[in-house]
Structure 1
Amino acid sequence: MTAKKSAANGKTANGKAATARTTTGKAAGKTAPAEIHIAQNPEADELLGRSPLAALVGMLLDQQVPMEWAFTGPYTIAERLGRDDLDAHEIAAYDPEAFTELFKTKPAVHRYPGSMAQRVQQLCQYLVDEYDGDATALWSEVEDGKELLARLKALPGYGEQKAKIFTAVLGKRYGVTPKGWREAAGSYGDKDSYRSAADITGPESLAKVRAFKQEAKAAAKAAKAAK
């Protein structure tokens, strides 16, 4: 068993990896469910608040679709699986074609259901291989924000920017605050900012984040045109 796996030894009664547990490591966060409003859907946000894996999957899906759509995805997946939470072992072992169909069923989980279904399965397989399927183990034993960011960047489907945003999500919304987490998150870790999913606490902040994204996109487009 690897060092990563040894930090992820929580199991449910049926032998599957626990989807929620008390964090006792160096980056221990809140043990109670977090209050999340990213999906702007009570049931979806409730799942995000109590399920680390749902939060990771929602962040993975957050590309080329509105944030609300992306972060509602984990709830939609769980509902179609007939579960009240996501389980990395189950998803990793799921028949790929059937899992893709689950994504394609209207309303679709994502604008690109085929590729994103594959990425979600790859993410879950990585968690099974490296952390015994326990998403919480990603951050429960990290020394600092730098290590947290490195672990997130290693996830399938997570690049530099997505890893920084999720570092900020963990710090601002879930109470996972290892030393240096704001620095690791870059500008996404700034206080009183409206840059990403990490800053959404309701409809008003969602509108501000959306406006920031639109302005940033317009600025990038203008800069490219000026070259």
Structure 2
Amino acid sequence: MTLSLPIAAEANELLRRDPLALLVGMVLDQQVSMEKAFAGPYELARRLGHEPDAAELAGYDPEALVALFAERPALHRFPKSMAGRVQEVCRTLVERYDGDPGRLWAEAEDGAALLGRLTGLPGFGRQKAQIFLALLGKRFEVRPPGWREAAGAYGEEGAYYSVADVTDEASLLKVREYKQRTKAAARSAAAG
């Protein structure tokens, strides 16, 4: 079973076949809807006129990259900071993995090592790294030993906590309901 978001079929296909697109989608998955975040890599490729690799984005003129992100409709509600974050992640990929995002997970000997590699990326705190690890395991069959444990609750079978659990419209609704309950509980705790 693979990731299937309610976005353009071409955008879903890019996520399925291009590890960089999947990683960039995860970078953008912050303070925007999942659909907006994961459609972003396809829209970026469309604006560039081709599918970029990590080396291209790492070396791209920062102001020109911001302009691509800010072009209406903007790729993210914070185009400047997210263009910078994508570029930082791509630079890290070039420096540590010869620009090959697939090496992040292909060379990890176990789930804990993969989690460590992911938290080593700019902007990937533990929660984001665990969600991405769960996404890799559940939807892309990247399953080094201990991957579920390293992914924490996000790795649980039958959970509906994150993008890792989205396979159709019904599962997307379950994930949204979970997120709404979590936010409500956090607001209640803060108020009280």
TM-score (norm 2): 0.98
2:189 alignment counterpart? 223
Q: In 1, Cα distance between the equivalents of 2:64 and 2:6?
A: 25
CA contact (8 A) 1:143 1:179 kept: yes
Q: For residue 123 of structure 1, what is the amino acid of its counterpart?
A: V
- The structure with the largest helix share of the pair is 2
- Larger displacement relative to structure 2 (36-45 or 48-57): 36-45
1:186 alignment counterpart? 152
Q: In 1, Cα distance between the equivalents of 2:180 and 2:157?
A: 20
Q: Give the number of the structure with larger relative contact order, counting CA–CA contacts within 8 Å between residues 6 or more apart.
A: 1
Which one of the candidate residues 15, 24, 39 is aligned to 1:48? 15
Q: In 1, Cα distance between the equivalents of 2:3 and 2:45?
A: 17
Counterparts in 2 of 1:121-140, with a 5 A limit? 121-140=87-106
CA contact (8 A) 2:6 2:169 kept: no
Structure 1: gaps of 5 or more residues: 1-33
Q: In 2, Cα distance between the equivalents of 1:94 and 1:131?
A: 18
Q: In 1, Cα distance between the equivalents of 2:128 and 2:104?
A: 15
Q: Verify: 1:153 aligned to 2:119, yes or no.
A: yes
Q: Verify: 1:172 aligned to 2:138, yes or no.
A: yes
- Larger displacement relative to structure 2 (39-48 or 145-154): 39-48
TM-score (norm 1): 0.83
Structure 2: gaps of 5 or more residues: none
Q: In 2, Cα distance between the equivalents of 1:147 and 1:176?
A: 13
Q: Secondary structure at the match of 2:148?
A: helix
How many Å apart are 1:143 and its aligned residue? 1.2
Q: In 2, Cα distance between the equivalents of 1:74 and 1:157?
A: 17
Q: Verify: 1:195 aligned to 2:174, yes or no.
A: no
Q: In 2, Cα distance between the equivalents of 1:202 and 1:42?
A: 13
Q: For residue 28 of structure 2, what is the amino acid of its counterpart?
A: L
Which one of the candidate residues 74, 78, 92 is aligned to 1:112? 78
Q: Verify: 1:70 aligned to 2:37, yes or no.
A: yes
Q: In 1, Cα distance between the equivalents of 2:45 and 2:4?
A: 18
Q: In 2, Cα distance between the equivalents of 1:97 and 1:109?
A: 15
CA contact (8 A) 1:35 1:46 kept: no
RMSD: 1.0
